[in-house]
Amino acid sequence: MPTQHFDAVIVGARCAGAPLAVHLARAGQKVLLLDASKLPSDQPLSTHFVSPVGVEWLDELGVGADVRRLSPASRSLRLEMLGTGITVPFARGRAGHCLRRLHLDRLLQDAAVRAGAVLRDQTKVVALLREDGRVVGVEAVHAGVREEIRARVVVAADGRNSTVADLAGAEEYLGYDSPRFGYWAYWPMQAAWRDPARAFDSIVAFADDKTARLIFQTDGDLLLIGVMAAASDLPRWRGRYEQAYLEALRASPVTAPHVEGNERQGNLVGMLSLRFFFRRAAGPGFALVGDAGLHKDPTPGLGITDALRDAKALARAILVGSDQALVHYWRQRDVDSIDLFHFAQDMGDPGYVNALNRLVYERARESPEVIRRMARQADREISPFAVLPTTTLLRWVAGATLRGDLPVLSSFLTTGKRSVGFQRLRREREALLDAGI
């Protein structure tokens, strides 16, 4: 069996693995980037959204200009709940972008090759090589040929169903099953989207108490339109997914104008069962990055940006060259991500549509300061739970309660209990980082 040697083997060549390969190869590392799929290939089960700070990280990788050229700029985000909308312009006139993954992943893969990484597609990892309890490489199969590939570090970047994470025994924690299922499709842009009076570029809409709708403008004059329905509705959808998807879009004033008289482009794709989690992201000779190590609810569109962030951080740790640096990367990732993980969990839960959040939407749209803080949160400058100052929230809740809106108080108390739990989990992650274990 032939054996090859690299500084790093990265399994998974998409929006986490390929950026990591760029950073490492530029630093002089000998890098092998593997992917089981035939490349380039699409990944439609994604919001495609890269926030403005993520686009700046794409600039560092040398692909930002192409992403801007190929996809329209999203300079603001629209959040809707039961007819109340908040438009959040991104700070300093910057923009996010939603390039289809077929193109984004290809750009990142090409950048990795230009940087000096070796890219092999249609290569499946079937085992990890170990010596004295340490991962020292992989066993892979390409074109029917099995080979051993040895490396100083093996990285799992092969998605939420990571083969490498399973082989490494990277255990899950803080996991939960999604209370929703979803369907995605591309639709040609129509006049309703091109209306100059429309002051936003992407939408996350909660038009009723059970179903979320997502619209992101992508390349090719297409809209990616998704429906995230409550798991309790799944029996009603079974056997009629296309019809139920269309019914959900036509039932909302937010999405109906974009599908009426329109014809979907390409296939309808769905995810009926999802699990969100953290996984142990480091061990002797291995690390995890992207969805392999941290998979969040897609509703707020945080995944790609965070994969770019974590790839950059993991590259620094690998270059240090110690197991302790990998552990520090893992623990820092958890601290940096815990609030975003729970924010995504909140938005993805059907219970997100409640009296308190309806009040917040109504009042926030009238507050330029809160909207500015929402833009700062999109730039990762503040936690999503710091967007609304406690004193402001208490004032709004007290006013609503005095007006007789008692459901607001009930929702506030329930949210408060959840917040206490989230804060405890953050303190635990911070303690593990400080302890270096």
Beta strand 202-206 with 180-188 is: unpaired
The C-alpha atoms of residue 100 and residue 242 are separated, in whole angstroms, by 22
- Helical spans, DSSP H, in 217-322: 234-237, 241-250, 256-259, 303-320
Q: What is the CATH number of domain 3-72+94-176+275-345?
A: 3.50.50.60
What is the mean pLDDT of the segment spanning 383-399? 94
- The predicted-structure confidence for 120-134, as pLDDT tens digits, reads as follows 999 999 999 999 999
What is the reported pLDDT for 205? 81
- 3-state DSSP assignment of residue 210: coil
**pLDDT above 70 as % of the chain:** 98
- The predicted-structure confidence for 51-108, as pLDDT tens digits, reads as follows 999 999 999 999 999 999 999 999 999 999 988 989 999 988 899 999 999 999 999 9
Compute the Cα dihedral for 43, 49, 51, 52 and give only its sign. Answer: positive
Burial of 130 (0-12, 13-18, 19+ CB in 10 A): middle
The C-alpha atoms of residue 217 and residue 186 are separated, in whole angstroms, by 9
- The predicted-structure confidence for 274-319, as pLDDT tens digits, reads as follows 999 999 999 999 999 999 999 999 989 899 999 999 999 999 999 9
Domain 179-271 has CATH 3.40.50.970: no
The C-alpha atoms of residue 322 and residue 316 are separated, in whole angstroms, by 11
The C-alpha atoms of residue 217 and residue 205 are separated, in whole angstroms, by 14
The C-alpha atoms of residue 110 and residue 73 are separated, in whole angstroms, by 23
Does 391 score more than 90 pLDDT? Answer: yes
Neighbours of 431 (CB within 10 A): 12
Torsion over CA of 187, 192, 198 and 201, rounded to 10 degrees?
0
Quick check: 91 and 376 in contact, CB under 8 A?
Answer: yes
What is the mean pLDDT of the segment spanning 246-275? 93
Question: What is the token pair recorded at 289?
Answer: 């990055």
Give residue 199's pLDDT band: very low, low, confident or very high (50, 70, 90).
Answer: low
Give residue 1's pLDDT band: very low, low, confident or very high (50, 70, 90).
Answer: low
Q: Where are the domains of the chain?
A: 3-72+94-176+275-345, 179-271, 351-435
What is the reported pLDDT for 368? 94
**How crowded is the C-beta side of 411, counted as CA atoms within 13 Å?**
22
131 Cβ partners below 8 Å, 6+ apart?
none
- 3-state DSSP assignment of residue 398: helix
Q: Give the H/E segment covering residue 147.
A: strand 145-156
What is the reported pLDDT for 294? 98
